[in-house]
Structure 1
């Protein structure tokens, strides 16, 4: 895996995401309740604080939990909730060590269908259905992992020419389009909520 990504919007962090399957997975895991760029810069920040060029699932899985939480909590923090996310990153790495010999790319290596890939991603700690579909779309659209049926398995995130998620971001212009789409979705969801009823006197 050696591609150019533009998710962190920071060259060194993006280079790590493009060459390291584990960094890409960890970035996707961190991508919740914080801006996307902050989340996808996280793997690079972790690597710097571990004083390594790439993340290693075995090392992170075996790291002392309190020390790892402190590592992510040091300012600037890797996440808005660095303590809980440190635990999730370690759980993900422990799962990879147990099931894939610590190799993140083994999650998608040799899969024969999009449905199988979605199943594997869904099994990862911290990956719900939506996160699994978005990462599947990222694999298919930008990382060259495109087993038969991957677009169908990714759902709307797999649509060609869409601007729904990180899978569609390839630079500032597409980032702006994805942001605009998310704002539209938030506004639509807010408008769909029934107005709160006033209490009866």
Structure 2
């Protein structure tokens, strides 16, 4: 992974994401119900507390669960829900340890096609289809991982200049665009739900 990711908006955290495939995967795992910068700063926070030069899937998987949860819960916590996310991080690392010998990059290094890579990502603990597609788009757009059919497999997140997700964030300006897109989508969803509720109420009358 030789690129400069700017997802945490913090030089040290972004440097780790840029050189560590496992850090990038953990950041993607944490990217829910918290601001993106918080999620992608999580791996660097973990590394500072664990010590060493990089995150190690085998070490994290074998860490005492209670001690690891406590480590994730120290302030600043790695996530709004540090206990449940500590468990998910360990599950992810255990899966990587068992299926990829702890080497996260193996996930995409030899993937022949976009659909194959998407399927591998969807098998990861904590990765549903949407999260898998967003990470696939991040790999293709910013990390040069572009197996045949990767854009199609990533769906709308693979489109050029879509500014839909972290895959499109390269700095403060693009972060603003992605945030605006998410807010518009959230408002549209809320409006649709409200309309459906109103229609249902009218039908009952």
TM-score range (shorter-chain normalised) is over 0.9
Summarize the alignment of residues 89-168 of structure 1 with structure 2, pairs less than 5 Å apart.
89-168=89-168
Query: How much does 1:192 deviate?
Result: 0.5
Partner of 1:195: 197
Query: How much does 1:3 deviate?
Result: 1.1
User: What do the CA deviations read for 1:37-62 (whole angstroms, capped 9, x no partner)?
Assistant: 00000000000000122100011011
Partner of 2:88: 88
Query: d(CA) in 2 for partners of 1:191 and 1:53?
Result: 47
User: What do the CA deviations read for 1:1-55 (whole angstroms, capped 9, x no partner)?
Assistant: 1210110000000000000000000000000000000000000000000012210
Partner of 1:69: 69
Query: How much does 1:195 deviate?
Result: 3.5
Instruction: Report SS of the residue matched to 2:197.
Output: coil
Partner of 1:41: 41
TM-score by length of 1: 0.97
Q: Which runs of 5+ in 1 are unaligned?
A: none
Query: d(CA) in 1 for partners of 2:11 and 2:141?
Result: 20
Q: Which runs of 5+ in 2 are unaligned?
A: none
Query: d(CA) in 1 for partners of 2:40 and 2:183?
Result: 20
Instruction: Report SS of the residue matched to 1:146.
Output: coil
Partner of 1:182: 182
Instruction: Report SS of the residue matched to 2:105.
Output: helix
Instruction: Report SS of the residue matched to 1:32.
Output: coil
Partner of 2:26: 26
TM-score by length of 2: 0.95
Number of corresponding residues: 200
Instruction: Report SS of the residue matched to 1:7.
Output: coil
**Pairwise CA RMSD of aligned residues?**
1.2
Are positions 1:79 and 2:71 aligned together? no
Instruction: Report SS of the residue matched to 1:195.
Output: helix
